[in-house]
A and B are shown apart, each in its own frame.
Chain A
C-alpha cells in the first residue's frame, strides 16, 4: 500500500466511480441492493431502533413497587430533575452526576488526545518502513482485543494499598505510609479509562496521518518551515478529521460508562450509567428509561455538535 499515491488516486477514483454509477446499475436488478442491505437493516430495527422507542415509551409509564403500567405521566422526568431548578445555584443529584462525568470526560479526552496524537505521529512519520509501521501498530492494538474487566482488575496488584507502586515508593523512602488514593479513586478511574480507550484516538489519527501526501511536508520544509511549524500549520489541520472521530468515540464512551467508574471507583463514584443500572436492579424501569433518554439526548447533542465539524464517511 503506497499511502501518498493512493490518497491522490482515491479522490480521482471517487469522481470517476460516481460517473460510472449509472452504467453499473443497468446490469444489476434494482432490488438487489435492498436485499443485500435488508439483514443489517433488520438487525438494527429490532435491536436498536425499536429498543430505543420502547425506552422512550416506557419512560412515560407508571410504576409501583410490584409492577410497571402503561400510562402517560411525566413524573419520571420530574423525578430525574427533582430539585434541579429549586436548588439553584446548588446542584441536584442529576446535575452533580453529570458534572462528575463531565470531569472524567475532560480529563480522559485531554490525556488520550495528547498520548494518541504523539503515538500516531511517531508511527506515521518517524517509523520508516510499512512492515515496521504495521508491526508497531499491531503491538498497540492487541490489548484492545482483551476484556475490559481484565484490563481494569490488572491495576489492583499495582495500585492497591500493598501494591507494587506503594511498595516501591515505601522502600525508596518517598512516602512513609501507603498512598490511599491510588486505587478506588478518581485517579484510578481516569487512569483506567485512558488505559482502555487511548487506542480509539490512535487509530483514526494514524489513519488520517497516513493519508497525508508526504510531498506536502517536504514542501513545507523546503519553504523553510521548522518541524514545529510544519506540525501546527500542515499536519494538525490535515488530521483534524481523525482527531474529531477519535474525540467522538472517547467522549461518548466515557459519558455512558458505568463499569470502569464502578470497578475502579470501588462502587463509590456516581455516574449516570450506574444510576440507571441501580434503578433497573430495583425493577424501576420507567425512571431508568427516563434517565436513559436524558443520557441519550446529552450524548446525541454532543455528537451533533462534533459532527457538524466533519463528514465521517469521506474519511474512511
Chain B
C-alpha cells in the first residue's frame, strides 16, 4: 500500500501541530498571587493525582497537536494505492479502446444497442482525454495491431463501428491493443474494454493475449529502454440488466439432403431467455415464399419446436433455401430472429446390396425399400452378386449412396479394389460378416486397408448375449433415437459373431455385444469427401432354419432382422443409408466465422464462381481449388443465404449456394463470471464496472488512488471528541460544594 499527497505543499501545514506547544511555552499567563490557607489540600491532591494530571496534560497536548496535523494532512488530500498510481487526468495517455462488436452487442435496451452505449462511453472518455494522448482502437471483428490515433481521428473510427457477425474472441483483441500500446511513450497507459461480457465473445478458459506486455509497477522496460508504465485495464460491462431474447436456435432437417419426390421435415427450435413466458409466431419460408406459420409459447429459459414440411416437389434447381423467422413482439436482439437452411435436392438414394444369395440381402432390402413399386421411394435398392463387381468399372459405384456387402464369403482382388476406390472417393460401405465369410479372403492386403477391423475368428456368444453398449449416442447413426435405440439393441439376442480387432487409430467400435466384443466398427477415410466403412461382425440377415435352437444351428447367428427383436434393425438400416449418403453430401450451412468449404462435383469443370452476398449488394468472383474439388469462401461475414453461381467453360451458369447463421452461443447472452475474468486477466489485472458511476469511481481510484480525506475528517472528529472528553474530565464542572449540617 502506498500513499501520496495531491496537495503536498499543504502537508507542511502539519507543522502547525507545534502551535499548542508554542502557545504553551510563550503564552503562559503570569500567575495571580492568592493567599490560600487550604494549600495543603491541593498538595495532598497533587501527590495522588500528579501522574494522572501529567498524563491528561500530555493527552490533551497530543490530541490538540493531532487535530492540527490531521487537518493539514487532510487538506493535502492524501491517497492510498494498492499499486502504482496511473497519474492524474492531465497526463498524456496511451488509451486503448477495445470494442466487442459481436452480434450480442446489437441487443437494444432503452432504444440503444449495447454498441451504441459503448460508443457513448468511448466518446465521454475521448472527450476528457488530455492533449498529446494517443488512442488505439480495436474491435473484435478486425485483426491487426492498431496504430495510435489522435482523439479526433479515433472518434471517427469509433463512430464507424458496427455489429459484425464474425468476431474473434476478445482475448485476441486484448493482445492486439496491448501490442499496439506496448511501445507508446505516453506516461499513462489505460485500456477500456467495452463489452456486454457475453460468454460467446470471450475464450473464458484461456488468458488474454499480450498480458506479458502489460508491465506492472512500471518496472519493465520496453524496446526503447525506458521504463514502461503500468497498463490499467478497465472492463465496462454493458450487459442488459434483465436480458430477454427469443431466438431461432437451430433448424433440424430430417435429412441433410432432400430427396426429390419426398418432403423434407424441418424442426425449428425456438428458445426464449427472460423472466416471463412468451408467445411468438414461427414462420417458414421456402425459397423466399412463405409456406407455413405456427404459434409457440415458450417458458422462460425454455425452448419450443415448430415443425414444418416442404412440399415433395421442390421445383427448379438443385439448391434450395429454407428460412425460419420469428415474428410477433419486438425482440431486443434481432439478428437471431431468423435462421436459414440451404439444402440440395437430389434424386432418390441408390443402395447396392451385394450378397452371395438373395436371402442374405432380403432383410436389408425390405428395410430400405419396402415397396419397390411405389411412386416415391427414398431409397432405390439394387442387388448384385460378388461376381458382378468384376464387371463393373470404378465409376459404376459412384452413383450409389451406400454399398452393402452382406455375408459375402469372398471377393476377388478386383472387387475389393473397386470398393476401396469407392470409399476413398467418399462412398459409404457396409460390410456384414456371416457364417460363410472366409477369414483368409477378408484378411488380404486390400480388405485389411479398407475394413475397420481385422478378423480373428468366429465366436459363440455366451448364453443370453445381446447387443450391448452404444459407445456414442451422439453419433449420427444413433442421435435421433438415442437411448431408446440403445435399449432396443439390448433386447436383440446374439448367438454368434466374428471376433475382430479394430484397426489401430482407425477403427472405432460404435456398438459392442453384451460381453464387450465389438459388434459394429466404423472407419472413416478423410478426404475432400469423407468415405466411411461400417463393419457388422454378425449378419444382417437370418437364414431360414429348421432348428430354432441356436446351439444346434450354426447358421443362426442372431435375431437382429427379426421383427420379434423390435424396431432397432429397421431404424439402423434407414439411418445407415442416410448417414452414408450424408457423407457424400455437401455441407451448405455454416455459422458466422466459419470458412465455407463447398464441395464441387469433380465431373463439372467450373472455371469461376460469382458469390453474391445475402443482401445482393456485393458480388465477388472466386476461383475453385486447383483440384476443382471444392470452393473455399473464407469466413463470409454477412448472415443469410449466399448465392453462388458456378460458371462452366461454356459460360453455362449453375446455381449453388450456402447459408450463414448466427453462432448459437450469441443468442444465449450468458455473462462471464468474475472467476472467468480472473482467468482471462489475472486476479488483480482488471477493474470491472457494472455501471457508469462505478466506472468513473474506479477510473479515479486507479488514477489517483483512494482518497482518504473523508476518513481523515472522521479521524479529526474523533480526536476532537476525545480531546473534548479528556478536557471535560480534566476541567469538569465543579459540583457546588454544599456543606451539610451535621
A and B are interacting partners: no
Which residues on B are within 8 Å of A, measured CB to CB? none
A residues at B contact (CB < 8 Å): none
